[in-house]
Amino acid sequence: MDLGLKDKVIIVTGGSKGIGLGIVNCLADEGALPVIVSRDQKSMETVVNALIARGIKASYVHAELTDAEACIAAVNHTFDHYGRIDGLVNNAGINDGVGLEKGNHQDFMRSIQRNLTHYYLMAQACLPYLKKSKGSIVNIGSKVAETGQGNTSGYAAANGGRNALTREWAVELLKYSIRVNAVIVAECFTPLYEKWIASLPNSEEKLKSIEAKIPLEQRMTTAAEIAHTVAFLISDKSSHTTGQLCYVDGGYTHLDRAL
């Protein structure tokens, strides 16, 4: 299916690694013009140079997403360069392990800032341009908001907020025909996930035990599978879909894992 994304300008936060990189590559394959916004200059340069070598007009903007002014500047720079913005994928974040029993107020608030606040900042900065293009927003979220995980209060709260904002913005932006949806991830085998597994004792056994709890095919979700759903939701092919939380997780969140 041609998603009609050719020459569409799509901002992807955290788009140089893991799930974000999968999204950027998928958008590029669909002919879009992905713009990565991140603080990781080196990885952004590597990704964008590889895409340019393929003839894709990708670009990046260096920004610290916890800085409101940096978010605004990144969006405005993108518009100044391309003259339009057709979509925003809020993806950047980290499961930073700020729990209740051993956490503290400062770390909790920092986790919210790192994992939720910039979703709002980026969406607000993009809004004037999305009104013109009748573009769309996709927020990447985590099953932690539904299932809990333990020892990650900040990340769980931020993901609950991502889900709530998805539906709140979908309502608020109806009058502009701007659609807002979320893709919820459970167990996706990114380099960061692989690093975490490798740090555990009996890492191979641990990975197998996790995979055994994923109902569909007892395997991890791939970044490409997440990306394909994101590309569909950001495109006009999903033109009557808004306010939805789409779980791309092999049934992990809602199916009986006793299966």
Among 161, 71, 70, CA closest to 111 = 161
Cα gap 179→100, rounded to integer Å: 35
Dihedral over Cα of 68, 37, 18, 218: its sign: positive
Residue corresponding to tokens 């997440």: 226
> Which residues, in sequence order, are CB contacts of 54 under 8 Å at separation 6+?
28
Q: Are 140 and 182 in contact (CB under 8 A)?
A: yes
Question: Helix, strand or coil for residue 139?
Answer: strand
Which is the catalytic residue, given 60, 119, 155, 252?
Answer: 155
Tokens at 138, concatenated: 């996709």
**Contacts for 109-114 with beta carbons within 8 Å, 24 or more apart?**
110/154, 111/153, 111/154, 111/155, 111/157, 111/158, 112/154, 112/157, 112/158, 112/161, 113/66, 114/65, 114/66, 114/158
Cα gap 61→82, rounded to integer Å: 13
Question: Helix, strand or coil for residue 245?
Answer: strand
Alpha carbon 82 to chain centroid distance?
A: 22
Radius of gyration of the chain measured on its C-alpha atoms: 18
Q: Is 247 a catalytic residue?
A: no
Q: Are 170 and 243 in contact (CB under 8 A)?
A: yes
By annotation, the residues acting in catalysis are 155
